[in-house]
Every structure is written in structure tokens, then in C-alpha cells.
Amino acid sequence: MKRVFCLVFILCSNLALNSVSFASETDKQEQLLRSLFETQLSSTNSIKRSVSSMLRHYPQHEEFILDYSFQKYPHKYKQIIRGALSADPHSSTDVVSMALTYDVASCYDVIATAIKAEPGYAGDIVKTATQLRPNELDQIVRVAINTNPVMAENIINSAADQNPDAFDLIMTMAFEELPGMFMSLLNNAFSNFPENSEEVVEIAVSATDKVDPRVVVDKAVQAGLSQEAAVKAAIAGGAKQDNLVKNNQ
């Protein structure tokens, strides 16, 4: 019995020592990374360059480097975001997530900075932001599409996929905020959300008086919606039935 007890005691002691040893090594590693970061910063006098350099040389320590940067220099969040994304554009989700977690700035300033730094990942950036701040969805989408209208379709698709219950809100905002892109946004909606075609017609007609409702109906029919359903949706959006009927006589 004593031998069993001794064996258990020895095993537990070894596990404890290993844990302490592991923790100690982790602390040393983190201290070294802090020292390297500060040395780099002193040398370049640029948070952006320091973050970028550290992440390029130690990508396996991305989480710690970002964590340290945002906590130590929250007022330099724009430089941190730009530096991180210049080192690895694929890290946009992690960078935005950590910036929002530490609340270094408003959600809108964070996503605008990230999208300007890496526009190709605008959809992922918006998806991450809406996951973390669902109550700010409308403002997130508005800021995103105005920050980079070229990526508006990608942003809208990502936001709508992530928030299907807010489809009407997202599309209404898109049509109202980017009237110059009305037709491309309309075609994109029909192509990517065919199950919502009737909603798209209604929203599109109600969102603008600059486009003839008959054009919206025609686009919907070309996309596969029946003439009857398209006309009904257009009327629900505010179109005059007589005008729609005349067009089809």
C-alpha cells in the first residue's frame, strides 16, 4: 500500500514540476517577445513596422503579439491593425476580433481601418464584426459599404449570409446608401439570394424613385421569378399597378 502511495505521490510531483516548468518557459518566451517588440519599436519608432516585423518573424506567436500590442498601445490601434494585416492579410478575422474585444475604438473605426488596410477581406471583416456586435449590424454594414463601395456586393453577401433575418434591413441600406450602384446591387441580390427575389423587388421599388419599377420587375423575371409574383412584389413596394399592367400589354 505504501509503495502504491509513494508511486502516486511521485507521479503527481512530476506532473506538478512539469507544469511549473512549462509555465516558466512560457513566461520566459513571452518576456523575450516583449523585449524584442520594444527593441524593434525603439529602433523604428513605428508601431506599424514593429507589429508587422514581429508577426513576420514569429507568426506562431500572433495571438500574444496582438494581445500585447493592443493592451500596451490601444491608442495606436490603427497602426497595429495596418501592421498586422500587412504581415498577414489572412489574419483579418483575428485582428478585428481582438481589437473589438479590447474595445480600443468604436466598432466602426475598427472595421473602417481594417477594410482600408485590406479591402480584399472586407466580407470577412464585416462577418466578424457582426458576430461580435450583432446589435450594431446596420451601422457596421453602412460604414463598410461606404468605406469601400467597390467591395459592396461582397460585404452585403457576407452580412446577409451571417444575418439572414436582417436581409430586408441590409438590402434597404445598400440601395439607399449606394444609389449609383443600384442595378449591380439588384442583379447581385437576384443571383445570390434567389429565394428572396420577391423581397428584393419590394425593397428595390420602395428604396428609390430614380429607377422605373418596370425595370426592376423585368430584371426579376429574367432572374427566374414569375411575372405575377414580380408585379405583386413591386406593388407591395409602392409601384402603381396601372403602370405595371400597361408595360405588359
For 150-192, how does the pLDDT look when each residue is reduced to its tens digit (9 = 90+)?
Answer: 999 999 999 999 999 999 999 999 999 999 999 999 999 999 9
Report the b/e string of 143-167 with b at 16+ CB within 10 A: bbbebbeebbbbbbbbbbebbeebb
Domain-located, residue 5: no
Q: Which of 164, 187, 211 is the last residue of a domain?
A: 164
Confidence of residue 13 (pLDDT cuts 50, 70, 90): very low
If asked whether residues 120 and 228 sit together in one domain, one would say no
Give the per-residue pLDDT at 26: 74
pTM for the complete prediction?
A: 0.81
Residues 104-121: tens digit of each pLDDT:
999 999 999 999 999 999
If asked whether residues 133 and 219 sit together in one domain, one would say no
If asked whether residues 248 and 138 sit together in one domain, one would say no
Range of the domain at 85: 45-164
If asked whether residues 52 and 155 sit together in one domain, one would say yes
If asked whether residues 116 and 192 sit together in one domain, one would say no
Domain-located, residue 9: no
For the chain, the domain total comes to: 2
Mean of all residue pLDDT scores within the chain? 87
Tell whether the model's pLDDT for residue 30 goes beyond 50: yes
Confidence of residue 248 (pLDDT cuts 50, 70, 90): low
Confidence of residue 81 (pLDDT cuts 50, 70, 90): very high
Contacting residues for 49 by C-beta, under 8 A, at least 6 apart: 40, 83
Round the CA-based radius of gyration of the chain to a whole number and report it: 26
Q: Which of 164, 188, 215 is the last residue of a domain?
A: 164
Distance CA 193, CA 207 (A): 18
For residue 83, which of 110, 58, 46, 43 has the smallest C-alpha distance? 46
Asked if 31 and 61 touch (Cβ cutoff 8 Å), the reply is no
Distance CA 19, CA 31 (A): 18
